[in-house]
Amino acid sequence: MAKRTLSQQNLLSVGAIHLVLGLLSIVFLIPLVWMISTSFKTVEQASVFPPVWIPDPFMGGNYKEAWEYGKDQLGGVAPMLIYARNSLIVCILAVTGTVISNSIVAYSFARLKWPGRDLAFAITLATMMVPFPVLMVPLFGLFKDFGWVGTFRPLWIPAWFAGAFNIFLLRQFYRSIPMELSEAAKIDGCSEWGIYSKVILPLTKPALAVVALFSFMGTWNDFLAPLLYLQQQETWTLAIGLQAFRSQAGGAPIHLQMAASTMVVAPVIILFFFTQKQFIQGIATSGLKG
């Protein structure tokens, strides 16, 4: 806790800090405010110079127009609806797999003793250094052999096999739970699976929520993997659809681009506001325990 002595000098410096923080807040918020402002403008007003901040007239209908933009190519169904549905399907499958698999694997690394465990964990950490581009070509070949190209499978099945970052994050958490709990359960005749599922798992819900959040963000934001595997427009996720929205057939006009972008950003920001505490704590833990 910081010292709070209310000398005049302190009052002055507190005022200065507020001034700096306030100005910086404006700088950080301008781009988002500008995105939202443009999304409500007419096409003419969107590109006048010098720019107008408050849209006049206020075009709420831009969102409907952006939602349905290019629906003729999809037989009258709003493309954004298809993309959103696809993104949700991939996210649900990937998040479920990530939470289940990493929870089980991290339990093994944190609370079970087996020969070679520490070496395996060191190798696991080292895999964080492997860049995706080096795996990209062979993985594409592999998934092509599996017949998965063009389906959602390459985007969520690997999530069911855990990953270094989440194992690392959860292992830290599992290790902070006293071993005595496990030992007591064992004396009561619990199997390892029983100890994991009945004793430890209920205690790790907050950490699992963090893993689920990060996994959702990662999948929702992912562009490269869907770009590699999804060719048909009906299978596109929001990331791919939004990019096409901007680049294909001359591209949608700027006010609609901003409306569509806002619709992709909004779910993430809403999710953040509902889970702020876990979110912030999760990030702090992931960066500190290194």
Partner 1 sequence: MNKPGHLTNQTKAGLLFAAPWLIGFAVFLLFPLLKAFYNSFTEYTILTPPVWIGFENFADIFRDELFWKSLGNTFYYAFIAVPVSTVIAISLAMLLNTKVKGQAFYRTFFFLPALVPAVPLAILWLWLFNGEAGIINAIIEPIFGIRPNWLGDVNLAKNILIVMSAWGVGHAMVIYLAGLQQVPIALYEAADLDGASPLRKTFQITIPMLSPVIMFNVVMAIIGSFQVFTQPYIMFPGGAPERSTYFYSVYIYDAAFRDNRMGYASAMGWIMFLIILVLTLTAIKFMDKKVHYESN
Nearer to partner 1, 75 or 132 (CB): 132
Rounded to a whole number of angstroms, the minimum distance from the CB of residue 210 to partner 1 is 13
- Does residue number 133 form part of the binding site for partner 1 (CB under 8 A)? yes
Q: Tokens 């000398």 correspond to what residue?
A: 7
The torsion angles phi and psi of 232, rounded to 5 degrees, stand at -75, 135
Nearer to partner 1, 42 or 286 (CB): 286
Burial class (CB in 10 A: 0-12, 13-18, 19+), 274: exposed
Out of 63, 67, 148, 160, which residue is the one contacting partner 1 (CB under 8 A)? 160
SS3 string, 128-171, reads: HHCCHHHHHHHHHHHHHHCCCCCCCHHHHHHHHHCCHHHHHHHH
Rounded CA gap, 140 and 143, in Å?
5
Rounded CA gap, 77 and 67, in Å?
10
Nearer to partner 1, 23 or 77 (CB): 23
- 161 and 100 in contact (C-beta within 8 Å)? no
Rounded CA gap, 197 and 200, in Å?
6
- Does residue number 12 form part of the binding site for partner 1 (CB under 8 A)? no
Out of 11, 43, 47, 198, which residue is the one contacting partner 1 (CB under 8 A)? 47
The torsion angles phi and psi of 61, rounded to 5 degrees, stand at -65, -15
- Does residue number 207 form part of the binding site for partner 1 (CB under 8 A)? no
Out of 12, 64, 193, 206, which residue is the one contacting partner 1 (CB under 8 A)? 193
- Does residue number 68 form part of the binding site for partner 1 (CB under 8 A)? no
- 236 and 82 in contact (C-beta within 8 Å)? yes
- Does residue number 203 form part of the binding site for partner 1 (CB under 8 A)? no
Out of 163, 170, 204, 230, which residue is the one contacting partner 1 (CB under 8 A)? 163
User: Distances in Å between the alpha carbon of 185 and those of 63, 111, 172, 191?
Assistant: 56, 13, 21, 8
- Does residue number 274 form part of the binding site for partner 1 (CB under 8 A)? no
Token pair of 254 as six digits: 């700027």
Out of 62, 80, 86, 107, which residue is the one contacting partner 1 (CB under 8 A)? 107
Out of 77, 206, 223, 231, which residue is the one contacting partner 1 (CB under 8 A)? 223
- Does residue number 189 form part of the binding site for partner 1 (CB under 8 A)? no
Out of 92, 130, 184, 203, which residue is the one contacting partner 1 (CB under 8 A)? 130
- Does residue number 181 form part of the binding site for partner 1 (CB under 8 A)? no
Q: Which of residues 14-43 bind partner 1 (CB under 8 A)?
A: 14, 17-18, 20-21, 24-25, 28-32, 34-35, 38
- Does residue number 147 form part of the binding site for partner 1 (CB under 8 A)? no
